[in-house]
Amino acid sequence: MHSLPVFDIEGREKGRINLPLSFSERVKKKIIQKAVLAEQSKKRQPYGSDPLAGHRTSAHYHGMRHSRYSQMNRELARHKRIHNQGYLNMTARFNPHTVKGRRAHPPKVEKIWKLKINKKERIKALKSALSATLSKELVAERGHIIDDVKHVPLVIEDEFQKINKVNEAIKILEKLGLSKEIERCKEKKIRSGKGKMRGRRYRKKKGPLVIVGKDEGISKAIRNLPGFDIALAKNLEVNMLAPGAQPGRLVIFTESAIKELDFDAKAK
């Protein structure tokens, strides 16, 4: 059984805590990816085109043979056409391959985007993502700067949950060796490509995740730090531990959060 050092808000080691068996799962990237995609699919908003798009036209087709207004035997494709409108006379409309015609297969609102995943499979993925937070190699691979960090992952006393000022939170994090990580998360780059025109002009870094047992004001401080995220242990998702399905995020736990993440004890 693994044990981790517990730090107080002054950055001093005050004891150790035993990790539950949830942190002993083997890291499986494929099952983590499956769980992340399933969680992301629930957040997709259905979209579709107007059912009448391309249908709002007076164009029609009449194919009676041997009549004055027949559209047959006139070297014309059998399309619905506009009639008696000057320069638009006999212009094809409505069909998918005509100018201003409808789309053949437009996106439909009734499409189901939600992907399914078994309950046991999701819990296994969550345990696997938690185990990945213990690996310095995986954490460094994600781009986190952990040279000065006192331990990976960090466990801090529950007093940290009562902090509600950004400046106070920054001072505590700096004492734990996260100064370079805070600076890294401030970096913001302009995206390449057409995403600049579509409301996602900037690319930002994904920083550490703070997992708490109870929110006693800490969310007010953490949510204003660029790149940082905060989550309650009972609401933890795989997507938070492995953004982009890449495991090994730098995580800061509180003591109560570690106890909350004992899934095997909950099952009993």
Matching residue, tokens 């059984």: 1
Ramachandran angles phi, psi of 143, nearest 5°: 105, 0
SS3 227: coil
Q: Is cis: bond before 153, omega within 30 of 0?
A: yes
Q: Which residue has the higher pLDDT, 75 or 209?
A: 209
SS3 content of the chain, % helix, strand, coil (to 5): 35, 15, 50
Q: What is the CATH number of domain 3-39+114-267?
A: 3.40.1370.10
User: How big is the CA angle at 213 (ends 207 and 216), to the nearest 5 degrees?
Assistant: 90
Give the helix ranges, DSSP H, for 90-178: 119-132, 136-141, 166-175
Q: What is the pTM assigned to this prediction?
A: 0.83
The per-residue pLDDT of the chain, averaged, comes to: 92
pLDDT of residue 101: 94
Q: What are the tens digits of pLDDT across the range 155-194?
A: 999 999 999 999 999 999 999 999 999 999 999 999 999 9
Residue intervals in the chain for CATH 3.40.1370.10: 3-39+114-267
